[in-house]
Amino acid sequence: MDLSFFIMQFLSGLTMATLLFLVASGLTLIFGVGKVFNFAHGSFYMIGAYLAYQAVSVWHANFWISVLIAALGAGVFGMFAEATFLRRIYGRAEEGGFQILLTYSFILVIDDLVKLIWGTEYKSLPRPLGFGGAVNIGGLTIPAYNLAIIAIGLVIVILAWLILSRTRSGRVARAAALDREMLGSLGINVPLTMTLVFGIATAMGGFAGALAAPLRSVSPGAGIEVIIDSLIVVVIGGMGNFWGAWLGALILGEVNAFAVSTVPDWASLFNYLVMVLTLIFKPEGLFASREIRKV
Amino acid sequence: MLKRKYFLWFIPALVLCLVLPFSASGQEKVIKIGGLYPMTGRAGLYGLDSVDAAEMAIEEINGKGGVNGYKLEFTNTDSKAKPDYSVMVAKRYVTQDKVHFLFGVVSSAVGLAVTEVSKQNKKIFIGTDHASTQLTTDKLQPYYFRVSNNTFQSMAAGALYLKELQKTKPWKTIAYIGPDYAYGHDQWDELKFNLTRFGVEFKAVGEYWPKLFAPDYTAFITSIINDKPDILVAGFWGGDTVAFIKQAQPYDLFKKILYFHPDAGGNYELMAAMGTDLPEGLVLSARHHNNWPETELNRDYVNKFFKRTGRYPTYAAEGAYAGIYAIAEAVNKVGNPDDTDALLKAFEGMKIKLPEDPDDFTSYIDPKSHQIVQVQAIGVTERNDKFPPAKLMLGQWKVYKAEDLLPPPDYIEQLKKK
């Protein structure tokens, strides 16, 4: 494997990793703060992709504004779903099972809604203006839009770190993850915090869906295909751990990229192998803290 | 008291209202067809198009008075593209609804499951879309018939195209990418078999197996470019084709390598989804084309479908349309839909003129394999905005004779041994 091909594969892995991280980060945020496993997180990714399609192709809006509209739309829809349905099952003895059933029903309802509004035909979004071609760096052809996605991913990671560690809202979210009842007794509106966190997480799903739309096909059922890999990412990184999601996505993206080029017949197997090895040797995930391990 | 009197009258009136429509339809002779098309998920468009086309064919036939005094009646249950669930629905169709024919399906996995129900219950199953060669070779059973091409036929046509191409544009190396399940693997095996059969010299330099519905192909694309094949053969269907082409475009893959996708690549959904983003010069085919052959029958079919649904059909629709006409033809010959043995004989060798037949050819069902025999046309993407929202359609057609595309006996034996 020569160096230029190695770099190309690495960047391919990084593009996949960034999109995976953007989806998985929302999934892990909801789990970390709300202890909710949102099986329908992929559906919010799909809503984002469709809203971006609607904004660009029907309303003729600028692509980047459409991405924001998509994130906002998915977030508002997520808050509605949390406040109207999920809130009713918090604290019940059977909450775990109910979460799976309820969020699975979201998948079916959202799929049918999308079909009713946009039909079953595949939708496609062009790359944004100025990002249609490729950039030539040292003889390597790298799609400009892929580079933009990698850059956006890095910005999101830094922003999330700043918000979670340096702002009051971030501290409240982290506190909610540790002890919701204590937070309530300190006068924090816990239900509102949960709704907002759910909204931010689903907005991130929508944001990822909108960013991915110019690279993928948009169709009903598109959410299912991303949720499995996102779940693997979350398991590798540690359920509920934001940084773990980033590391998990990076590992999965790169393992996939180099498995495809070296052992193409067995490439799919390697993603699962990483997850299995993590579950055997570090079942709490690579980034879980000592305290969590003790628990 | 008055209220009670009215109430006593109300009950028999209600019963009459409920019973009368059934007794009326009970007197009408009906051919019942149980459809198993998916209406949700990634295969939903194929299911929706198939149901629309089947209903269109039924309206046409019933509008002309039906078949031998029988009206056609079609019901579809969302198969969810799941084999276990489809088996349950098929059994219900047979035992409770007493259908005369099982009908569909999109996924070959569902087809292989439903053909077992058909075999056990001696109920005729008309296959309209799924393409696995197995159903008409090693897994063939007496009650199954398929009215659309299988992957072997597409790959045989593909091999003949590549053979001709070698004369004008010498190529040596070939790579393959297709979904990692039976449909994807069958296509590659069948193409290699046919290339060898037709005496084409080639060297395979790469094989890639992404998961079905994989969202990201970037690592595959860079790896394929590194392999430097002359031809890239693809075995995707649906949105996977769209995603792969979109992701490969900025790498200039289509300028460096000839993209060849002979089974499902030329489906209209690709042209409709990608508009002007679809590159020119891709070599594609499908089981039906909206702009080939340019016969009155094909034009009528495409225009009627558009008028009815507001969209142009994918190839799945024509399979369902053909299936309904084949049933009508068989019942017309036998005189009733209940004599299964006579119907089997009517299907075997049946000749039926379909929208995808050019003027000089009529499709027929091979009595041995129960597989419809049809010509296959392979085209190249070029500008054509007559079928919006598509901006490119296929052109520069090469047409391959139906008889050259059937699997030879030694290949069927090979499959049986497997």
Of A9, A225, A256, the CB nearest to B213: A225
Any idea what DSSP says for residue A218? B
- The SS3 assignment for B364 reads strand
Chain A: give the shortest CA distance to residue B205, in Å.
12
* Average pLDDT, 10 consecutive residues per value, chain A (295 residues): 89 94 92 86 96 96 97 97 90 80 92 91 91 89 94 92 85 78 81 91 96 92 87 88 90 94 88 89 77 42
B246 to chain A: closest CA residue: A215
A137 beta partners: A140
Q: Tell me the whole-structure pTM to 2 decimals.
A: 0.90
Q: pLDDT tens, B309-324?
A: 999 999 999 999 999 9
B218 to chain A: closest CA residue: A12
Q: pLDDT tens, A55-112?
A: 999 999 999 999 999 999 999 999 999 999 998 888 777 777 888 899 999 999 999 9
Q: Same structural domain for residues B316 and B407?
A: no
Q: Give CA B132 to chain center in angstroms.
A: 10
Q: Which domains does chain A have, with CATH numbers?
A: 3-294 (1.10.3470)
Chain B: give the shortest CA distance to residue A10, in Å.
9
Beta strands, E only, A109-198: 134-137, 140-143
Residues contacting B130, CB < 8 A, separation 6+: B105, B106, B107, B108, B110, B111
CATH number of the domain to which B334 belongs = 3.40.50.2300
What part of A 90-149 touches B (C-beta under 8 Å)? Answer: 108, 111-112, 115, 119-124, 126-127, 132-134, 141, 143-146
Interface test with B, best of A11, A14, A124, A137 (most B CBs within 10 A): A124
Chain B: give the shortest CA distance to residue A187, in Å.
44
Helix (H) or strand (E) holding A225: helix A222-237
B147 phi, psi to nearest 5 deg? -110, 15
Which residues of chain A are within 8 Å of residue B220 when distances are taken between CB atoms? Answer: 260
Reference B300, options B318, B326, B323; nearest CA is: B318
Q: Is residue B186 part of a domain?
A: yes
Q: Is residue B12 part of a domain?
A: no
Contact between B327 and B126 under an 8 Å Cβ cutoff? The reply is: yes
Q: Same structural domain for residues B69 and B144?
A: yes
Residues contacting A146, CB < 8 A, separation 6+: A11, A15, B218, B250
Q: Is residue B199 part of a domain?
A: yes
Cis peptide before A155 (omega within 30 of 0): no
Q: Is residue B196 part of a domain?
A: yes
Q: Give dist(CA B20, CA A29) in Å, integer.
A: 59
Q: What is the ipTM of this complex?
A: 0.89
Of A108, A119, A122, the CB nearest to B238: A122
Chain A: give the shortest CA distance to residue B365, in Å.
31
Residues B242, A143: C-beta atoms closer than 8 Å: no
Q: pLDDT tens, B71-104?
A: 999 999 999 889 999 999 999 999 999 999 999 9
Q: Is residue B336 part of a domain?
A: yes
Residues B250, A222: C-beta atoms closer than 8 Å: no
Which residues of chain A are within 8 Å of residue B275 when distances are taken between CB atoms? Answer: 124
Q: Same structural domain for residues B219 and B85?
A: no
Reference B368, options B186, B146, B183; nearest CA is: B146
Q: Same structural domain for residues B266 and B393?
A: yes
B170 phi, psi to nearest 5 deg? -55, 125
Domain that holds residue B218: 152-286+376-417
Q: Same structural domain for residues B249 and B174?
A: yes
Residues contacting B160, CB < 8 A, separation 6+: B194, B198, B400, B404
Q: Is residue B23 part of a domain?
A: no
Which residues of chain B are within 8 Å of residue A121 when distances are taken between CB atoms? Answer: 45, 269, 272-273, 311
Q: Give dist(CA B115, CA B143) in Å, integer.
A: 8
What would the two tokens of residue A271 be?
């993603």
B48 to chain A: closest CA residue: A120
Q: Give dist(CA B219, CA A20) in Å, integer.
A: 14
Q: Same structural domain for residues B143 and B161?
A: no
Q: How far is CA B79 from CA A47, A88, A92, A289, in A?
A: 24, 33, 35, 46
Any idea what DSSP says for residue B80? T
The C-alpha angle A215, A220, A221, rounded to 5 degrees, equals: 85
One-letter amino acid for residue B102 of the chain: L
Of B180, B222, B252, the CB nearest to A8: B222
Contact between B111 and B281 under an 8 Å Cβ cutoff? The reply is: no
Q: Is residue B386 part of a domain?
A: yes
Of A15, A108, A260, the CB nearest to B220: A260
Q: pLDDT tens, B278-303?
A: 999 999 999 999 999 999 999 999 99
What would the two tokens of residue A165 be?
């560690």
Q: Same structural domain for residues B318 and B241?
A: no
Those residues of chain B whose CB sits closer than 8 Å to some CB in chain A are 40-42, 44-45, 48, 180, 206-211, 213-216, 218-223, 226, 238-240, 242-243, 246-247, 250-252, 269, 272-275, 277, 311
Contact between B208 and A260 under an 8 Å Cβ cutoff? The reply is: yes
A133 phi, psi to nearest 5 deg? -100, -155
Helix (H) or strand (E) holding A75: helix A63-84
Which residues of chain B are within 8 Å of residue A220 when distances are taken between CB atoms? Answer: 40-42, 44
Residues B226, A5: C-beta atoms closer than 8 Å: yes
Chain B: give the shortest CA distance to residue A92, in Å.
32
DSSP string, B151-202: HHHHHHHHHHHHHHHHHHS---EEEEE--SSHHHHHHHHHHHHHHHHTT---
Determine the angle formed by the axes of helices A63-84 and A190-212, rounding to 10 degrees: 140
Any idea what DSSP says for residue B66? -
What would the two tokens of residue B228 be?
């430097």
Interface test with B, best of A10, A11, A12, A14 (most B CBs within 10 A): A12
Q: Is residue B381 part of a domain?
A: yes
Contact between A16 and A250 under an 8 Å Cβ cutoff? The reply is: no
Q: Give dist(CA A184, CA A192) in Å, integer.
A: 11
Q: Same structural domain for residues B160 and B185?
A: yes
Q: Same structural domain for residues B257 and B181?
A: yes
Sheet containing strand B144-146, strands side by side: B71-76, B30-35, B101-104, B124-127, B144-146
Contact between B262 and B158 under an 8 Å Cβ cutoff? The reply is: yes
Which residues of chain A are within 8 Å of residue B209 when distances are taken between CB atoms? Answer: 264-265, 267-268
Q: Give dist(CA A229, CA B294) in Å, integer.
A: 45
Q: pLDDT digit of tens for each residue in chain B (418 aa)?
A: 445 555 555 555 555 544 444 444 445 799 999 999 998 877 888 999 999 999 999 999 999 999 999 999 999 999 988 999 999 999 999 999 999 999 999 998 999 999 999 999 999 999 999 988 999 998 999 999 999 999 999 999 999 999 999 999 999 999 999 999 889 999 999 999 999 999 999 999 999 999 988 889 999 999 999 999 999 999 999 889 999 999 999 999 999 999 999 999 999 999 999 999 999 999 999 999 999 999 999 999 999 999 999 999 999 999 999 999 999 999 999 999 999 999 999 999 999 999 999 999 999 999 999 999 999 999 999 999 999 999 999 999 999 999 999 999 888 888 877 7
Q: Same structural domain for residues B392 and B243?
A: yes
What would the two tokens of residue A142 be?
């790298």
Residues A261, B226: C-beta atoms closer than 8 Å: yes
Q: Give dist(CA A236, CA A279) in Å, integer.
A: 8
Q: Give dist(CA B273, CA A26) in Å, integer.
A: 29
Any idea what DSSP says for residue B259? E
Which residues of chain B are within 8 Å of residue A5 when distances are taken between CB atoms? Answer: 222, 226
Chain B: give the shortest CA distance to residue A14, in Å.
10
Q: Same structural domain for residues B227 and B334?
A: no
Residues A121, B40: C-beta atoms closer than 8 Å: no
Q: Same structural domain for residues B231 and B125?
A: no
Please give the tally of structural domains in chain B.
2
Q: Give dist(CA A153, CA A245) in Å, integer.
A: 12
Q: Which of B354, B373, B392 is the last residue of a domain?
A: B373
- The SS3 assignment for B373 reads strand
Residues B222, A12: C-beta atoms closer than 8 Å: yes
| Token pair 């995976």 in the structure block, residue | A20
Helix (H) or strand (E) holding A102: helix A95-118
Q: CA end-to-end span of chain B, whole Å? A: 79
Count of positions (residues) in chain B: 418
A181 touches B at CB < 8 Å:
no
The b/e string for B339-367 (b: 16+ C-beta within 10 A; e otherwise) is ebeebbebbbebebebbbbbeebebebbe
